Amino acid sequence: MTTQNKSECPAEGLLKLLSGKWKPQIFLFAVSGPVRFNGLLRDLKGASKQSISVALRELEENGLFDKHIIKQKPLHIEYTLSEKGQALVPVFRQLELVS
Amino acid sequence: MTTQNKSECPAEGLLKLLSGKWKPQIFLFAVSGPVRFNGLLRDLKGASKQSISVALRELEENGLFDKHIIKQKPLHIEYTLSEKGQALVPVFRQLELVS
DNA sequence: TCAATTAGTCAAAAAAATATGACTACACAA
DNA sequence: TTGTGTAGTCATATTTTTTTGACTAATTGA
């Protein structure tokens, strides 16, 4: 750590987390249902594997998404909104109203 | 414009605007009262003139802050939350609750 | 008139975020 | 055993954001 970040806006971390490139879109997709790596790669025109990978990891590490390994038939991984993630949905809606 | 940005999360622009470096802190200060360029330069340890200048301009251009030229005694400029800016305060509070 | 305070701008450098393209590894079907 | 789909990683560009430091310009106090 540097010298220490005194004060700070409490919402800052969350704002940063949610504003990265592709994050809002990924979040929006996730509101409608589970999201998958390759699906996003197809749907988000212009997004790279790397970006999607990083976005999903960060969203998961910060507890907004849950990562589920589905051992069924095709064997794949699903990302879904966690409870904390769900709690953000109304905040997003409010944000839209302000725009 | 490039090819065109189809879809998009409606809150995306606002998220981007608010998540830039120093922006959340500046916003937080503004909730307590008018903010000024040199005041922020003093209070935000590590922030550069440039960053503050850009942040204030962007917040103003996007209608979150109002810029007032105070012709009184010391003659200075004050930035205050606009109505739209005020409308964001409860959103920030909600955001804090989620964290 | 000299120095400080106000509020910036500008070009260039440094740092951080994203994209590119190659590569890995497992499962399944033909 | 070759090919397809799954889900990535990694090193290296490229792009964007932020910082640095020099400079401007008007106002005020001494």
* Interchain pair A91, B90: CB under 8 A: no
**In this model, does residue A5 exceed pLDDT 80?**
no
Q: In this structure, which topology does domain A12-98 adopt according to CATH?
A: Arc Repressor Mutant, subunit A (1.10.10)
Q: How confident is the model at residue A1 (pLDDT cuts 50, 70, 90)?
A: very low
Is B11–A96 a contact, with Cβ atoms under 8 angstroms apart?
yes
Longest dimension (CA), chain B: 51
Domain definitions of chain B by residue range: 12-98
Across A10-36, average pLDDT: 94
Phi-psi region of B46 (alpha: psi -120 to 50; beta: other; left: phi over 0): left
Q: What is the pLDDT of residues B44-54, one digit of tens each?
A: 999 999 999 99
D27 C1' – B67 CA distance, angstroms? 19
pLDDT tens readout for residues B73-95: 789 999 999 999 999 999 999 98
Residue A74 C-alpha, separation from nearest chain B C-alpha, in angstroms: 29
Whether the CB of A22 is less than 7 Å away from nucleic strand C comes out as yes
* Amino acid, res. B3: T
Spell out a b/e string for A33-56, using b for 16 or more CB atoms within 10 Å of the CB, else e: ebbbeeebeeebeebeeebbeebb
Bridge partners (DSSP) listed for residue B76: B70
Question: What pLDDT sits at residue A7?
Answer: 52
Of B16, B24, B91, the CB nearest to A91: B91
Query: Which tokens belong to B79?
Result: 């930035």
pLDDT score, position A6: 47
Mutate: best of B62, B91, B97, partner A, most A CBs <10 A: B91
Assign A2 a pLDDT band (cuts: 50, 70, 90).
very low
Express each pLDDT in A41-77 by its tens digit: 999 999 999 999 999 999 999 999 999 999 888 899 9
User: In angstroms, rounded to a whole number, what is the distance separating the alpha carbons of residues B18 and A16?
Assistant: 9
Helix (H) or strand (E) holding B92: helix B83-98
What pLDDT sits at residue B85? 97
Between residues 22 and 81 of chain B, which touch chain A (CB distance below 8 Å)? 24-25, 27-28, 45
Partnered with residue B78 across adjacent β-strands are: B68
Q: What pLDDT is stored for residue A72 in this prediction? A: 84
Q: Which of A8, A14, A95 sits opposite B98 (nearest CB)?
A: A14
Provide the pLDDT for residue A74: 86
Distance from CA of B72 to the nearest CA of A (A): 32
Tens digit of pLDDT for each residue in B15-47? 999 999 999 999 999 999 999 999 999 999 999
